[in-house]
């Protein structure tokens, strides 16, 4: 049986601060209540709801402005990373959202892994478009250049995959 809660903080995939939501008992008992993200909805807590909604509205404006500013910075940036590849040019590992978030951190941008919309890790070198969903639903994209380490791998790949020249049989007459 689900129980009614008043959220004191934003909780991903559940709701925003000041909303009345329902959740399963185990999630409430083991996560929401101990962390202080929610309280059980009662007549006393429902009085807090309007104050929490007002705080959330103010916070939403601030988050939207920050996200718009961050989006402008992200659009103007090109990320680049080098990866290890085998002689055929295949990557040994992959580039995951955590790796991409680390690249943003190195550039001084506060992008978290959860903002990066990537269905599966990238397993090919080249240029890839990365989509991000920041706070308050701000969407932005940037490009990620995945380069092989050493830079000379592409020349080796062409040498390996290029067809050998065919020698014509010379007839001796």
Using CB atoms within 10 A of its CB, is residue 72 exposed (0-12), middle (13-18) or buried (19+)?
exposed
pTM (predicted TM-score): 0.69
For the chain, the domains span: 3-63, 77-161
pLDDT tens digits, 90-148: 898 999 999 999 999 999 999 999 999 998 999 999 999 999 999 888 999 999 999 99
Tell me which CATH code domain 77-161 carries. Answer: 3.10.430.100
Class at the top of the CATH hierarchy for domain 3-63: alpha beta
Residue 162 to residue 155: CA distance in whole angstroms? 10
């Amino acid at each position: 049986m689900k129980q009614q809660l008043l959220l004191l903080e934003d909780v991903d995939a559940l709701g925003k601060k000041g909303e009345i939501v329902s959740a399963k008992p185990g999630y409430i008992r083991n996560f929401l209540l101990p962390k202080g993200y929610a309280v059980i909805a009662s007549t006393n807590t429902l009085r807090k709801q309007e104050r929490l909604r007002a705080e959330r509205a103010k916070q939403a404006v601030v988050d939207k402005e920050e996200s718009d500013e961050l989006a402008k910075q992200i659009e103007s940036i090109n990320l680049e990373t080098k990866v290890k590849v085998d002689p055929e040019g295949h990557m040994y590992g992959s580039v995951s959202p955590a790796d991409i978030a680390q690249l943003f951190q190195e550039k001084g941008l506060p992008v978290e892994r959860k903002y990066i919309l990537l269905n599966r890790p990238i397993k090919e070198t080249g240029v890839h478009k990365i989509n991000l969903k920041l706070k308050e639903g701000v969407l932005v994209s940037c490009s990620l250049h995945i380069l092989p380490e050493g830079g000379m791998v592409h020349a080796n790949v062409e040498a390996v995959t290029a067809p050998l020249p065919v020698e014509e049989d010379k007839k001796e007459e």
